[in-house]
Structures are given as C-alpha cells and as structure tokens.
Structure 1
C-alpha cells in the first residue's frame, strides 16, 4: 500500500471525526457515497456507521472524549484505507470531499504538543503552525537561596535597571 493512500486515509479519519465531534453530521454526508463502488448495501451500511460514530462522539463529550475520538478516527482511517486499497480512484473523490468540508466548515485536523520544562530557570519552546510558543520558569532566587515567583519579590529587592 502506498504512503499516499495511508496519508489520505489518516487525514480522512481525523477530519471526519473532527466534524462529527463538532456536531457537523451534515458536513460528512458525502463520505458514505465513496462505498457506492461496492453496492448500495455497502453505502447504506457506511451511512449507519457514520451516524453510530456521531452518536458515540456526542455521548463521550462528558468524560472520555479523547479516547473515543482516537478510537473512532482509527476505525474510519481503517475503513478508508481498505476502500482506497481496493478502489484507488476513490482517492480523488475523497480529497475533494475533505477539501469541501474544510472550506465550508473550517474543519482542520488538530495538533497537540506536550512541552516540558523542568528544573531551575529552565525553558522550552514548541512550534505549531509556524507560531513559536515559549515555556519557562518565572522564578527568581531570593538572597537566602529560596525560589519565589518574580511577582512576589519585594520591589526594593529588584535592580529596576538602576546601578548603585
């Protein structure tokens, strides 16, 4: 299987689940039509599966939504990968459906980045979509060697840019 099929199926699963989680069931109504190549019964089955996925995602908004979203995305990615492996020509149609969904509903795959900065005066940076996010310690050492927040420092203890 080509990387193109895997990447397209992965993006399809993520965008589809993002739309369903946002309650945009109408936005994904064209997805089941991709299975028309396997017959009306397959197309109808995918429509039922789509509504079932929407229901599971809606029910999970309270607690375990991350786990349900991940599982649902994997299920749809697998379905799309199997379809594209059998019918590669469906890739162009899937690409158009995804582009239409993203244009009309501003659906974008999300990015999550975990950045850890630990230790005294440590800093870390993360980049998402070209924006740089800086994370770091805002603590200063007091004369006694005890760390304290910079906002808690007595103004008389600060240099304030003046030399003695």
Structure 2
C-alpha cells in the first residue's frame, strides 16, 4: 500500500470523525458522497447511511461523555477511505481538496511532509506542529 494513500486516508478518517458534529457537516457529507458517486454509484446510498449512522453515534456518545467513540469512528472511516483510494487512487486529489476545504486547522494542516534518516548515535526529532524537548 502506498504510504501517501495510507496517510491521506488517516487524515480523512480523523477529519470526517471530527466534523460529524460540526456546522460544516452537510458539506463534508456531500463531498464524501461525491467521491463514491464518481467510481461506485451503486454504493452511494449505503455510504450515505453509514455517514448518517456515524453522525448519530458520535452525537449520542458526546452527550454521554464517551470520548472513545470518535476514535473508533475515525478508524472506521480511515479504513473505508483507504480501501476506496487503494482501488481508485485517482480520487486522491479530489479528497485532498475536500479536506483542505473543511479541515478544522485550515489548509496549512494538510501540507506537512517529513523525511528523516539517522545512523550511528544520531537523533532525529520531527513534529508536524509543536515539539517540546527536555534536554536535561
């Protein structure tokens, strides 16, 4: 599996789960359904039902103070998106555009790419955002 697809699917799953209970939900829902409609129109109704069920589950969980459900929903959507991209990698650009449009942190959150190589006794510290090191 291409690492870029895996990373993109992970970001998408987390973003979808985060936005389930947001004011932008209808736009996200329509964007996700458009992906399926392009390559699997026969699955659109089923995916819509899964999105709606995920939203209901998250809203119920938030009302009960259950924080684990959002992580579980993110994992479910991460898998669904990964499988979709694995068979239809041409959707990656459209998915990136959707995530940039709706990402809670804005477009800058979608542009982090890191590579590092260490050998011997070298240390590599990387962070996509904040990094605090205590060098005592």
TM-score norm. by structure 1 comes to 0.61
The answer for unaligned runs of 5 or more in structure 1 is 110-126, 135-164
1:128 and 1:87, CA in 2 relative to 1: closer, same or farther beyond 3 A? closer
**Larger helix percent:** 2
Q: Is the 8 A contact 2:33 2:48 kept in 1?
A: yes
Q: What does residue 21 of structure 1 align with? A: 21
1:27 and 1:37, CA in 2 relative to 1: closer, same or farther beyond 3 A? closer
Matches within 5 A, 1:9-48: 9-22=9-22, 24-28=24-28, 29-48=30-49
Distance in 1 separating the partners of 2:59 and 2:96: 26
Tell me if 1:4 matches 2:4. yes
Q: Is the 8 A contact 1:53 1:72 kept in 2?
A: yes
The answer for unaligned runs of 5 or more in structure 2 is 110-126
**Larger strand percent:** 1
Q: Is the 8 A contact 1:34 1:94 kept in 2?
A: yes
Distance in 2 separating the partners of 1:23 and 1:67: 22
Larger radius of gyration: 1
Could you list the structure 1 runs, at least 4 aligned residues long, displaced by more than 6 angstroms after superposition: none
Matches within 5 A, 1:115-134: 129-130=129-130, 132=132
SS at structure 2 position matched to 1:89 = helix
Q: Is the 8 A contact 1:23 1:54 kept in 2?
A: no
CA shift at 1:128, angstroms? 8.3
SS at structure 2 position matched to 1:21 = coil
What is the Cα-based RMSD across aligned positions, in Å?
2.4
Matches within 5 A, 1:36-75: 36-63=37-64, 65-75=66-76
Q: How many residues align?
A: 113
1:57 and 1:23, CA in 2 relative to 1: closer, same or farther beyond 3 A? farther
TM-score norm. by structure 2 comes to 0.72
